[in-house]
Chains A and B, each alone.
Chain A
Amino acid sequence: MAESRLTNTELERALRELGSRYPYPPTPNLAVAVRRRIVARPVAPVRGLTLWRDPRRLALAAAVVLVLAGAAALISPTTRDAIAHFFHVRGVIVSRVSPLPSLSPVTPLNLGRRTTVADAQSAASFTIGVPAELGAPDAVYVDSEVPGGEVALAYTPRAGIPLVKQTGLGVLITEFRGDLVPGFLTKEVGPSTTLEETSVNGDPGWWVAGEPHLVITRIGDTDYPVTLRMAANTLIWEHGGVTYRIESSLSKAEAFRIAAGLP
């Protein structure tokens, strides 16, 4: 039987011939849609991620910044703010961008594998917080490619919790080890979005509200985003190395009520 089988050369030739006749569907015109989703601006907007991806360089840079911080804080309020932003919530980089690129309002969430809280807990290296205010989530996702795991709790819209068109959900809560992935999540905030430093349960956080902002996530040394989408009102904070994020169209007070049931 073996002698009748194709050689590599024959198989390669057969594949080359197949390639020209492969039953692909017709190619759609992507150029128009892509153009609509990007805007005219230089394309080096994501600052410092190379640095953040490399723990050794990050440690070195952090040491340098810390040494300089004391002096800087005395010299310039602007510098002091910039440093505060750098270290505010681990796993998150927030920056003001003008103009903000326009993306389709609905892009895939890429939340990972759908599962249960119990299964997600076995995959995550932290204790998953489920807010008492909302109760059991309607869907749970886990992304094990994020170091330490990223868990997403999805709540569908209901009375008092309106639909968020960016997510198709009422409330989306994500939790990940911000201490393990310093450059995981970047938020780009346009001029019409409120960006407020805040304190959640005594921990440092951000309240981002108003016009949707851009969220970009990256894992490891990939040079392209896992997620790139517009996001609604978001409360984000860090407690004990875990970064928590609540996205909804709720008010700040309502978001804080949900956060009160989390670590």
Chain B
Amino acid sequence: MEGRPLDDLALVERARTGDVNAYEALVQQYQQLAYRVAYQVTGDAADAEDAAQEAFVNAYYALGRFRPGAPFKPWLCRIVANEARNRRMAAHRRTALAERAHWAQVSGEAAPSPEAAAEADEFRATLVKTLGALRDDDRLILSYRLFFDFSEADMAEALKVPKGTVKSRLSRALTRLRDALPADFQLSSGGTIGG
């Protein structure tokens, strides 16, 4: 799905000179990541699509100010997350209450419930729902690290925070997630959530 940094560098350089094919290749490589990052912020499929598309267009026009040699992925994610936040605020389509209902619904849809996997499903659903209720920054840092496997440097760049603070922010986000989970929340038998 994602390109190697060296490939990215070459594609970014070509895109800066007006090579639309090179930029399209970057869009194809990163569209899934961009869409999922946007979805983590908006919690809405249509808003996430709009935000990701807008972010790619904005990023294209901002390439002139992109620091040569810098990694493209976290820079793009910063634009995506910002665009997703703007979209959510501008839309005013969901009140906090509706949003909680939405996340509850998403968590309900998290997995069909074959009986054998019921416990794991419930575990996952609770985790998704609780993540959805966290503030954006916490959900994003947890997603970058644990869903999208970002390095600390990439997380720092994507969140625009000093690299030295990433670990402590991640730890605080984990703590807040744990505090928000139901008191009886435990790993399913076998210690995994696999179902």
Residue of B49, B61, B175 with most chain A CB atoms under a 10 A cut-off? B61
Measured between alpha carbons, how far is A127 from B94 in the docked complex, in Å?
31
B61 near A27 with CB under 8 A, answer: no
Contact of A39 (CB < 8 Å), options: B20, B35, B171: B20
For residue A37, CB closer than 8 A to chain B, the reply is yes
For residue B72, CB closer than 8 A to chain A, the reply is no
A38 near B109 with CB under 8 A, answer: no
Q: Across the two chains, which residue of chain A brings its CB closest to B35?
A: A27
B16 near A44 with CB under 8 A, answer: yes
A46 near B146 with CB under 8 A, answer: no
- Which chain B positions have C-beta within 8 A of A17? 192-194
Q: Across the two chains, which residue of chain B brings its CB closest to A108?
A: B90
A50 near B178 with CB under 8 A, answer: no
B58 near A46 with CB under 8 A, answer: no
B35 near A10 with CB under 8 A, answer: no
Measured between alpha carbons, how far is A17 from B79 in the docked complex, in Å?
27
For residue B161, CB closer than 8 A to chain A, the reply is no
Contact of B49 (CB < 8 Å), options: A1, A19, A30: A30
- Which chain A positions have C-beta within 8 A of B64? 42-46
- Which chain A positions have C-beta within 8 A of B17? 42
B186 near A24 with CB under 8 A, answer: no
For residue B57, CB closer than 8 A to chain A, the reply is yes
B183 near A1 with CB under 8 A, answer: yes
Contact of B18 (CB < 8 Å), options: A41, A103, A108, A110: A41
Measured between alpha carbons, how far is A34 from B31 in the docked complex, in Å?
10
Contact of A5 (CB < 8 Å), options: B24, B27, B56, B178: B178
Contact of B128 (CB < 8 Å), options: A23, A107, A112: A23
- Which chain B positions have C-beta within 8 A of A15? 127, 142, 146-147
B61 near A45 with CB under 8 A, answer: yes
Q: Across the two chains, which residue of chain B brings its CB closest to A8?
A: B174
For residue A21, CB closer than 8 A to chain B, the reply is yes
Contact of A46 (CB < 8 Å), options: B61, B90, B175, B177: B61
A49 near B53 with CB under 8 A, answer: no
Interface residues of A (CB under 8 A from B): 1, 4-6, 8, 10-19, 21-25, 27-31, 33-35, 37-46, 49-50, 101, 103, 107-114, 216, 222-226, 228
Interface residues of B (CB under 8 A from A): 15-20, 23-24, 27-28, 31-32, 34-36, 39, 45, 48-50, 52-54, 56-66, 79, 82, 86-87, 89-90, 92, 106-107, 109-111, 123-124, 127-128, 142-143, 146-148, 171, 174-175, 177-178, 181, 183-187, 191-194
